Chains A and B, each alone.
Chain A
Amino acid sequence: MTALLRYQGALLLRSQRWLAPVLLYAAFLAVGFRPGDPVPDSLGYSAAALVPVTAWLVRTCLSVEPDAARDCAAAAAGPVRVHAAALLTGLGWGAGAGGLGAVAVLLLGAREGPRLPTAALAGAASVLVCALTGAAVGALCARPLLRAPGYAVAAAGLGSLLALVTAGSPARVAVSGLVGGSVALPLGALAGAAALACAAGAAACLAAARRG
């Protein structure tokens, strides 16, 4: 699995297709966050932007490898593990970008307000919740579950939006908590996002094995 993760990571890095989603995330932050803004509010905003960005990164990882190369890797390691490695790579990049965004917010945000460790913990949890939710959306809106690229991109956009506005969605719970000024740890949302990502990932991996 380590070898597959390294391979997928190299593919994403060298293809430079990580650049567009990461730049989009940077643009979100640049537009919505000003140095001196309140920290909890800004952490919530930056985490919310992570949902579509991670969905995009996961979709990119699932489509960066041409079919022929994917077949070779699938014969070597099994289609489930190949698909899982691509999902985890996208999730990792999303969480990494979110982590950098949260660090920027913590360093540049308003000095008053909650203590730094408390805010950092809440920020890390919300980054994880939103990255996991975005990864679930990306896994469901990509091959092999949704192959037509037009529909898949539209579905990923719509799915990300729904994940942020639907009542009870883990991303919404985590983001609205922070935006409301609370830095309590969103443990329920974290568990929900993890369960959602596992279910979506498992569905996508099993479908990858069944449909080749």
Chain B
Amino acid sequence: MRLDAVGRRYGVRGPWVLRGVSLELPPGALVRVEGRNGGGKSTLLRLVAGIDTPTEGSITGRPRRTAYVPERFPAALPLTAQAYLGHLGRVHGLTRAEAARRAAQWLERFGAAGHARTPLAELSKGTSQKVAVAQALLAGPGLLVLDEAWTGLDVPARAELDRAVAERTAAGGTVLFVDHDPARLAGAPDRHYRVEGGALEPVRPGAGPGPRVRIEAAGPPGAVPPPGLAAEPLPAGGFRLTVPAGRSDAVLRELLTAHPAWHIRNVSDLP
């Protein structure tokens, strides 16, 4: 998917919010966008997600299944979480049974299974956000656009969303995200841009993969390492994982907090 010289302004004589934005979004890429408040990040995300149309320029090759998570989802909808997710799953093209199954699965993963039958209007802010995230993930989208989707989630749900993003990119989906926490998915994004004065500028142009960390760990029988990581099985059992240094703490945390936990044999820096 690519954006060519995309510009957007609201109103015929309004100021340009974005102009001359060209961006390549290959399958499997994790792309971070940062910038000031009101600088046009959300506009860029809405254009990429197809919610908004550019005033000039073109957007081509958007994957068939596109999902968007807004920053706030105060959805005063007259539906239960389960019913809403079922409807959205079918809008994404899933069958009724498949939509219901995946809705239950994603609510479970985000620790909101107990709220499946609660009307959306009665959910807390954090639980509504979990429904918004589940809505996007249940389709297994080819393009996932996250506008500060982590805001309002509790710590386990944030970690789960990190994992879900890794799974999406590992499955060949493109993920574009904005988050104010500079440590969010640190080290993981393949591309990193900043919206500055209505233009999109690459951050750290030409930066290599950076330092990496090798983790040797053995899981409980049958356990598989977190998806999206370079993992090779070891002859003595367990796996050797090679992860970007910035992500190694998150991976270790994930392995150690799994139930049952993994055993870490060795951690070493790679040049």
Contacts and interface: CB of A to CB of B under 8 A. Distances in A.
Is chain B found bound to chain A in the same assembly?
Answer: yes
Interface of A: 3-4, 6-7, 10-11, 14-16, 65-66, 68-69, 71-79, 209-212
Given A11-B79, A72-B88, A74-B49, 4 more contacts: A3-B93, A4-B91, A72-B135, A75-B145
A68 B70 contact: yes
A73 B72 CA distance: 15
A27 B50 CA distance: 43
Contact of B90 (A3, A11, A14, A209): A3
A209 to B, nearest CB: 5
Nearest to A14: B78
Nearest to A7: B87
A14 B79 contact: yes
Contacts of B91: 3-4, 7, 73, 76-77
Contacts of A73: 88, 91
Contacts of A72: 67-70, 73, 88, 132, 135-136
Contact of B92 (A6, A16, A76): A76
Interface in B1-55: 10, 46, 49-53
Contacts of B88: 7, 72-73, 76
A76 B66 contact: yes
A211 B46 CA distance: 11
Q: Chain A interface mostly helix, strand, loop or mixed?
A: helix
Contact of B46 (A11, A76, A212): A212
Given A74-B51, A76-B91, A68 B75 contact: yes
A211 B66 CA distance: 19
A71 to B, nearest CB: 5
Contacts of A14: 78-79
A10 B83 contact: yes
Contacts of B87: 3, 6-7, 10
A9 to B, nearest CB: 10
Contact of B78 (A15, A77, A209): A15
A210 B53 CA distance: 5
A210 B76 CA distance: 25
A57 to B, nearest CB: 16
Given A7-B87, A76-B88, A66 B76 contact: yes
A103 B88 CA distance: 35
A75 B77 contact: no
Contact of B53 (A4, A10, A209): A209
A69 B66 contact: no
Contacts of B132: 68, 72
A10 B51 contact: no
Contacts of A66: 74-77
21 contacts: A3-B87, A3-B91, A4-B91, A6-B87, A6-B90, A7-B88, A7-B91, A14-B78, A66-B75, A68-B73, A69-B84, A71-B70, A72-B132, A72-B136, A76-B65, A76-B66, A76-B67, A76-B139, A77-B91, A77-B92, A79-B53
Nearest to B144: A75
A21 B264 CA distance: 65
Contacts of B75: 66, 68-69
Nearest to A73: B91
Contacts of B72: 68
Contacts of B92: 76-77
In this complex, the member of B91, B132, B139 whose beta carbon has the largest number of chain A beta carbons within 10 angstroms is: B91
Contacts of B65: 76
